[in-house]
Structure 1
Amino acid sequence: MMVLYEGPRLLDFAKAPAHLQFNKYVLTGYRPVSTAEECVRSLFYMHNELGNIYTHGIPFFLFLVLLPFSIPWKEVDSIWICVVHYLACLCPTMGSVLYHLFMNHVGGEHVYDTLLSLDMVGVCLVNTLGAIPIIYITLLCYPSVQQTALLVYILLSAHGIYCATTARTNVRRLRSFVWQALFRFSLFLFRVYGSGVGSPNSLRLFVIMDCLALLGGLVNIVQIPERFKPGLFDNWGNSHQIMHVMVICSIIYLHWGTLEDLAWIKSYQCPAE
């Protein structure tokens, strides 16, 4: 499989560049330091980052092409909500593909850190842009509160981007998104127990979205299943790939929930004061 191009001799963990030695349970399949062209060629032979590239690369192109056909552009008064949502679905996969494809670039650790920061920015943006329609619709009947909530969330997102791009461990990176997650949870509570509005069917989808994202982050931190069988999951089925799949599922649930809200908002009128 994936032998369209005969790649270089791969390295084991001990011989891989130091900045790529972040999972001691992945023992083999490391690409040597490569030029940009050689990194692109690595799309066509087996190595331990191939699964990470394709588990986000294929969904990126599917989202890019197919999502616009499912978004009701002409049926929504505020078309900017649709644009923001579309960008939210694309951001994390695009940054991730660039990171995993070029992480062994000859530029070394500096290039690696830049790509990792880009990957983290993509994750932050799906949190930020993905939540904007939720905030807008939940607080639809409270325009002044709505504007304040959007501003607060953007500030929390800026803080999250700073923390995520400067963090040095997966635990700290996951913690960077805590305040955004708590803010979204408060919106969910406002829908259930307060006077927030939105589709009755979307809240369950948004909760599943956040649970999948959290579970994916935890799997990546604890490095299961490769922790139990080092070397067995070097190329396929390791924790980072599982996280990638959960992130994609999370984005799909975000999309479904947003579509529910966009369909609901067409016929909803806020009660008169």
Structure 2
Amino acid sequence: MSATCTVRQRRSPPGKVRNGDGVKIACKARNHGLCSYEELPEWQRDNDKILRGYVRETRSLMKCVKSLFYFHNESVNIYTHLIPGGTYLALLIFFTDFVLIPQFPSTSMSDYIMINFFLLGAFLCLMCSSCFHCMKQHSEAHSDAWSKVDYMGIIVLISCSMVSLLYYGFHDYLFHFKLFTIVVVVLGSVCAAFVLNDRFNAKNWRAFRAAFFVLFGFSGVVPIVTGLVKFGIEESCKRVQLRFVLWEALFYIVGAVVYGLRLPEALLPGKFDFVGHSHQLFHVLVVCGSICHFRALIGSYFFLHTGLSTSNLLNLKVLA
């Protein structure tokens, strides 16, 4: 049988799009095995406000990989983290060695490790997320396993972000750096043990998952307050580029709220099935937050080695 859909004049069932473009989309969806929320097995049902565009259970890794090459309701989720993840990998390989580190002869191995530590964490987080959204339709067992990988990636990003900035905030106060790093490791380990629990992946824990990771991230408020008390506002802002850190926090908070409340699809079910639903917005906001953190690291690196509030690197101004 030909893969081409033949359209005949017939009475459309309720809810079916009658215009030509809508029919073409529906035909392509059928050709690639896409289905509606009602057609999904129970284990694939997560967001009942997204009505169309689901990839059916594949039971095949190759079919999961092939889903990268046609459009479905996970496509934006995949590529909004796959492309930035690849970019962070390129930065990890080339940027620090050939652009950033050669800026100053005073650059230490600690600088090299801490900047690459964040880039590695960002790369792993985004790639784990992309793999999850690509492979989740394989089977229930694979979905559960990749979901845990996804959550572990988030923990890695939060931990790497906090430790890298702790170094620049307390580079000359080793006790404080060690203390707060130990706290991050302990909290990260607790989070890891928690997310590996199958109950954590339940649908009714969605809002709690969002709040859980936000609280882990907000444990970074303690060292920031410590720095403000110890160094004063002006010095602290220069050490950790506080403006960018606050922007980072804002992006993550808004992303968590959007994810937890399922906005905007909760208001208009079916209107954001392929583009614009909450998980996609969450992905974009996470990337924006990670960019803000990387920008803060660059500024902190320049301030540590020059004591100046401006840098010539990419003509970026460091917070004065």
TM over 0.5: yes
2:214–2:253 contact (8 Å) kept in structure 1: no
* Amino acid aligned to 2:135: F
After TM superposition, the structure 1 stretch with the greater mean CA deviation from structure 2, 59-68 or 145-154, is 59-68
Q: 1:204-227 deviations in whole A, cap 9, x for unaligned?
A: 101111221121011011111111
Question: Structure 2 vs 1, CA of residues 233 and 81 (structure 1 numbering), >3 Å: closer, same or farther?
Answer: same
Question: Structure 2 vs 1, CA of residues 41 and 155 (structure 1 numbering), >3 Å: closer, same or farther?
Answer: same
Instruction: Supply the distance in 1 between the matched residues of 2:170 and 2:278 (Cα, whole angstroms).
Output: 37
After TM superposition, the structure 1 stretch with the greater mean CA deviation from structure 2, 108-117 or 55-64, is 55-64
Question: Structure 2 vs 1, CA of residues 110 and 66 (structure 1 numbering), >3 Å: closer, same or farther?
Answer: same
Which residues of 2 match residues 38-77 of structure 1 at below 5 A? 38-66=63-91, 68-71=93-96, 72-74=100-102, 75=104, 76-77=107-108
Shift of 1:137: 1.9
Match of 2:263 in 1: 224
1:134–1:258 contact (8 Å) kept in structure 2: yes
After TM superposition, the structure 1 stretch with the greater mean CA deviation from structure 2, 30-39 or 55-64, is 55-64
2:29–2:35 contact (8 Å) kept in structure 1: no
The answer on 1:18 being equivalent to 2:57 is: no
Shift of 1:66: 4.0
1:198–1:264 contact (8 Å) kept in structure 2: no
Correspondence for 2:290 among 233, 251, 256: 251
Instruction: Supply the distance in 2 between the matched residues of 1:255 and 1:4 (Cα, whole angstroms).
Output: 40
1:199–1:260 contact (8 Å) kept in structure 2: no
* Amino acid aligned to 2:124: C
Correspondence for 1:158 among 182, 189, 194: 189
Correspondence for 1:189 among 221, 225, 228: 225
Instruction: Supply the distance in 2 between the matched residues of 1:7 and 1:143 (Cα, whole angstroms).
Output: 60
2:207–2:261 contact (8 Å) kept in structure 1: no
Instruction: Supply the distance in 1 between the matched residues of 2:56 and 2:65 (Cα, whole angstroms).
Output: 13
- Listed as ranges, the gaps of 5+ residues in structure 1 are 269-273
Q: 1:159-198 deviations in whole A, cap 9, x for unaligned?
A: 1222234313222222332553332112222232323765
* Amino acid aligned to 2:272: F
2:88–2:120 contact (8 Å) kept in structure 1: no
After TM superposition, the structure 1 stretch with the greater mean CA deviation from structure 2, 81-90 or 126-135, is 81-90
Shift of 1:20: 1.9
Match of 1:271 in 2: none
Instruction: Supply the distance in 1 between the matched residues of 2:81 and 2:214 (Cα, whole angstroms).
Output: 23
The answer on 1:93 being equivalent to 2:126 is: yes
The answer on 1:103 being equivalent to 2:98 is: no
* Amino acid aligned to 1:159: V
> Higher relative CO (CA 8 A, sep ≥ 6), structure 1 or 2?
1
Over the aligned positions, Cα root-mean-square deviation in angstroms equals 2.4
Correspondence for 2:150 among 104, 119, 128: 119
1:128–1:154 contact (8 Å) kept in structure 2: yes
1:53–1:101 contact (8 Å) kept in structure 2: yes
After TM superposition, the structure 1 stretch with the greater mean CA deviation from structure 2, 163-172 or 215-224, is 163-172
Q: 1:97-127 deviations in whole A, cap 9, x for unaligned?
A: 100001010xx22211110000001111110
Instruction: Supply the distance in 2 between the matched residues of 1:241 and 1:194 (Cα, whole angstroms).
Output: 40
1:163–1:176 contact (8 Å) kept in structure 2: no
Aligned residues: 266
Match of 1:83 in 2: 116
Structure whose CA Rg is larger = 2
Instruction: Supply the distance in 1 between the matched residues of 2:254 and 2:224 (Cα, whole angstroms).
Output: 19
Shift of 1:145: 2.5
Shift of 1:5: 11
1:39–1:102 contact (8 Å) kept in structure 2: yes
Match of 2:212 in 1: 176
